[in-house]
Structure 1
Amino acid sequence: MSREILTVVETVSNEKGLNPEDIFEAIEQALVVSTKKKVYTEQPEVAIRVAIDRKTGDYDTYRYWTVVADEDHEMPACQLAISDLDENEWKIGDIKEEQIESIEFGRIAATQAKQVIIQKIREAERALVADAFEARVGELITGEVKKQSRDGYIIDLGDNAEGYLAKDQTLPREMLRPKSRVTSILYQVNRDGRGSQLLLSRTNKDMLVALMTKEVPEISEGIIEIRDVARLPGLRAKISVKTNDHRIDPVGACIGMRGTRIQAVQQELDGERIDVVVWSDDPAQYIISALEPADVSSLVLDEDTKTADIIFATNDQLARAIGSQGQNVRLASDLTGYKLNMMLESEYQERQQSQLEAVIELFYERLEVDRDLAQALAEIGFESIEEVAYVPAETFYDIDGLDDDAIAMIQERAKEAVIADELAKQQNVKEPSAELLALEGMTTAVAYKLAERDIITLDDLAEQAVFDIEDIEGLDADSAGQLIMNARKSWFE
């Protein structure tokens, strides 16, 4: 039997290219399993060790126990309590071992060894494939469609390597047939023993980057950089580029003479339309470029919230910026990282006027100033009570008729309002909704009084009767009834 073991090790090692040590370990593991099945059928938890002499093929079998504390002695078949041993000779964690009779390396053990060896062969082959392709993640790989499954395609990449192209990683309406050639991006190498190992994609953004790098020498040479990519796979994409040589037009270089370079990329991506725009470190300019071919009239940027209001002079330009099914604005937003709010100049002016009126009303109600002063505060740029409270006094000097005493009084009232608001928040006072505050005939003071009674939204107010709210300061039966009717309008619109 010892010679048979050596023969198995030598044969499998030569045929499969496995390390002989791995095969010896597989046979030892198989003998352990067979020993348990044959000798210790009633005690599957016993601990067995088999040691094969690597030179002669002879092997010995041992049963062993782990020394544990008394309170941990739960498995007598493979554990020994420290109190049952000489504590001068043994300590917790030691292994007590005794040799037992070895079984023959017969049919059962050989079958077990074969299964373990096959598994190790698979693991070794997967490791070889992973080692070969790990450095190629992000590269274009061309292979032949070997087989189609319900969820994807098996792609033969040559040299006994297969990739997996899932259906959701293919382009819309794309049907690949067996034996057809397909180019994909390798986006992940899976080293785990389960699942497909080489994962391919035709929808990944890196696919577009790799194709552009292949078709445009200036990109591969580092003269032009690809900064951002946004894709709606198979439909449309935007790619922003930056040149490191001011003599080279990055957009023209990417498009190529008569569009030959970009057309080659589009053809590979099933006609996906690709817009190439110039990257800019100025967010406003970058957004304007990303929205091409639309002409932006003006733009209001908020870098803190990553939002931008984009204003257009005509409906045609607005429609062009939005694009078919919203594709252009979606891609521009993804490319720049900004949420883009699109509107006409007339809509923007209406919104600005509405916001201005809301601020005027806020100052009129909370600061207890006349409407002319409230309007003057809003028109010089104040947007909140906090701003009024804590800006330098000199900021108010642009308002005619205000002396230092008046400015001090306004700021004191603003600070009181800020403190009151903070205390209200700490006391979990409920806030009225924006729609309730904006309701025709509503004042801020009344809205907050309503919120104290859990009347937060328009629907809450619409469900009230006049006698429920007419006792609120600032209301009477007529004004309460009118507010309720105004709130109910939303039910019929």
Structure 2
Amino acid sequence: DNIDFGRISAQAAKQVIIQKVREAERSKITAKYESLVGEVISGQVKRINRDFLLLEIEEDLNAQIPRDQIIPGEIFKLNDRVRAVIKEIVTTPRGPQIILSRTDERLVVQLFTQEVPEISEGTIEIKAIARDPGYRSKIAVKTYDGRIDPVGACVGMRGSRVQAVSNEIGNERIDIFIHSDNPAEFVVNCLAPIKIFSILVDERTSTLILEVEEENQAQIIGKNGQNLRLMTHMIGWSFQVLNKEQFKEYQDSTLVEKYDNLASRLGLSDKEKELIVSSEIDSLEKLVDSSAEKTKEIFTTDKRLTEVMDKANELLLQDAFNADFNDPTMEDDLVNLNGITNDILSALSANNIKKLDELAEMSVGELMDMSEKVTEKEASALIMEARKPWFN
């Protein structure tokens, strides 16, 4: 039998069918954009409110740019055409929603890829990028063709290429330099033409200590630390920017720590410590390689000399063992922690510290008690590194 639908029921059924068809079409189109995440698209502004811009990117298909993904200071009007990178596709009660961004680093990468043929062809590669949206971007580039100047190619004739990208992102300043896998060389390239007199590389705390002219300190640090933040983001190392006087003080304090640590490990008296300082013996290796004549001057009796040299060789063997340390029961996040060494891992393992959170909960004094080779500064840096996930 035919079912007799009333006018209202028929109208409701029609609306449901139309809605379902539109949702299916929208889902199909959205699925297409899932494969385009990270790519640049353009759209027309259809609505502006306090929380987001609504862009029409296809007929009957909209995407949102949340307020926090708009470059500071940008103002848009209805019907403006806007370019942005597809940041993600999120699921909402109304179905999938395309989220765009103008602050994402990938926007700058894609704009340069479109503007510089050598990048799209793969001759030049953007190896690292950091961005303070609306203010400054730093880009490290590398070429696999020795005939090409990668920086010049990205800048373009009279700055045409870099200016085109800058115009698109609110006249953001863009610094381009040659990439290097060596952290010290990377920083020198990044800060050119500022002269860097010396760089100390502290691999245990992943810190680069720069010696510069006093008048250049503020320029290197940047407004509100902008330059250092961008460089840290690019290579994952922290920085200290010191003038000549501060740099010498740092070197002296670091050397004092080395002598203190050596004396502590060997159990030296104050007099013996003074003599190794004057003899510039700041490591176990230098001590065991020193001449018999020099060591006899430091350790006045044969018994004491034998005792200290045996201890030094024992510590060297222990250090060599620790260098090959491996504990499969340790959490990967702890083993791969930035700045940690096998010596410290061995000490932690011996004290049943196997997880990153367990290290994060320790005090500086506790870590120094476990590992005689770690200094107060290194212990503090490691614990703070372990606590970083707490703040993310």
TM-score, normalisation: structure 1: 0.57
Instruction: Say which SS state the counterpart of residue 294 (structure 2) adopts.
Output: coil
Identity %: 37
Q: How far off its partner does 1:218 sit?
A: 0.9
Aligned counterpart in structure 2 of residue 123 of structure 1, from 15, 18, 23: 23
1:323-354 CA-to-partner distances (Å, cap 9, x unmatched) read 23322222122122211121122112112223
Matched, 1:235 2:135: yes
Q: Secondary structure at the match of 1:173?
A: coil
Give the alignment partner of residue 308 of structure 2, picking from 407, 410, 413. Answer: 410
In structure 1, distance between residues paired with 2:253 and 2:126: 42
Please tell me whether residue 259 in structure 1 is matched to residue 159 in structure 2.
yes
Which residue of structure 1 aligns with residue 224 of structure 2? 325
1:400 corresponds to:
294
Say which one has the larger Rg: 1
Q: Report the alpha carbon displacement of residue 432 of structure 1 after superposing the two structures with TM.
A: 8.5
Cα distance in structure 1, aligned partners of 2:114 and 2:197: 37
Amino acid at match of 1:394: V
Residue 280 of structure 2 corresponds to residue 379 of structure 1: yes
Judged with a 3 Å threshold, the aligned counterparts in structure 2 of structure 1 residues 398 and 231 are, in CA distance, closer, same or farther, namely farther
Paired position in structure 1 for 2:385: none
CA contact (8 A) 1:126 1:191 kept: no
| C-alpha distance in structure 2 between counterparts of 1:212 and 1:369, whole Å | 63
Distance in 1 between the 2:143 and 2:292 partners? Answer: 46
8 Å contact from structure 1 (residues 361, 374) kept in 2: no
Shift of 1:196: 6.2
**Structure 1: runs of 5 or more not aligned:** 5-103, 383-387, 435-493
Alpha-carbon spacing, 1:262–1:362, altered in 2? closer, same or farther (3 Å): closer
* Cα distance between partner residues in 1 of 2:214 and 2:100: 42
Q: Residues 190-339 of structure 1: matches in 2 within 5 Å?
A: 190=90, 193-194=93-94, 197-312=97-212, 314-339=213-238
- Structure 1 pair 369–412 and aligned structure 2 pair: CA distance change class (3 A): farther
State the Cα distance separating 1:245 from its structure 2 match: 0.8
Distance (whole Å) between structure 2 residues aligned to residue 200 and residue 432 of structure 1: 44
Structure 2 counterpart of 1:100: none
Q: What is the DSSP-based 3-state SS (H/G/I as helix, E as strand, rest coil) of the residue aligned with 2:147?
A: coil
Q: Which moved more, 1:358-367 or 1:216-225?
A: 358-367
1:167 aligned to 2:67?
A: yes
Q: Residues 216 and 107 from structure 1, CA distance in 2 versus in 1: closer, same or farther, beyond 3 angstroms?
A: same
Measured against aligned partners, the alpha-carbon deviations of 1:95-114 in whole angstroms (never above 9, x if no partner) come to xxxxxxxxx86789767755
Deviation at 1:208, TM superposition (A): 0.3
Cα distance, 1:150–1:304 mapped onto 2, change above 3 Å: same
Q: Does 1:178 align with 2:72?
A: no
Query: 1:340 maps to what in 2?
Result: 239
- Distance in 1 of aligned mates of 2:229 and 2:292: 42
2-structure distance, mates of 1:140, 1:106? 49
Q: Secondary structure at the match of 1:172?
A: coil
Q: Which runs of 5+ in 2 are unaligned?
A: 319-346, 352-361, 367-392
Offset of residue 159 of structure 1: 2.3
When residues 110 and 276 of structure 1 are mapped into structure 2, their CA distance, relative to the original with a 3 A threshold, is same
Secondary structure in 2 matching 1:400: helix
Q: What's the CA shift for 1:144? A: 1.1
Name the CA shift for 1:410/1:111 in 2 (closer, same or farther; >3 Å).
Answer: farther
In the TM superposition, what whole-angstrom CA distance separates every residue of 1:401-446 from its partner, at most 9, and x where no partner exists?
A: 3388544412566779x9xxx8xx96xxx98869xxxxxxxxxxxx
- Structure 2 letter corresponding to 1:409: E
Give the C-alpha shift of residue 157 in structure 1. Answer: 1.3
The 1:362–1:124 alpha-carbon spacing in structure 2 relative to 1, beyond 3 Å, is closer
**Contact preservation (8 Å) 1:364, 1:374:** no
Q: Does the 8 Å contact 1:166/1:200 carry over to 2?
A: yes
2:248 maps to 349
- Which residue in 1 is equivalent to 2:375? none
Deviations 1:138-169 (A, max 9, x none): 22211111001220110111322111011111
One-letter code aligned to 1:181: R
Which one scores higher on RCO, CA 8 angstroms, separation ≥ 6? 2
- Report if the CA contact (8 A) 1:226-1:240 is conserved: yes
2: CA distance, partners of 1:397 / 1:116: 93
SS of the equivalent of 1:270 reads coil
**Counterparts in 2 of 1:32-71, with a 5 A limit?**
none
Q: Which amino acid aligns with 2:217?
A: L
CA contact 1:228–1:239 (8 Å) conserved in 2: yes
Alpha-carbon distance in 2 for matches of 1:142, 1:295: 42
Partner Cα distance (2:193, 2:111) in 1: 24
- Secondary structure in structure 2 of the residue aligned to 1:132: helix
Contact persistence 2:288–2:309 (CA under 8 A) = no
Deviation for aligned residue 1:238: 0.3
- 1:328 alignment partner AA: N
Q: In structure 1, what is the Cα distance between the partners aligned to 2:261 and 2:124?
A: 52
Aligned counterparts of 1:315 and 1:375: Cα–Cα separation in 2: 35
Give, in whole Å, the separation in 1 of the partners of 2:261 and 2:32: 67
Distance 1:120 1:247 in 2: 58
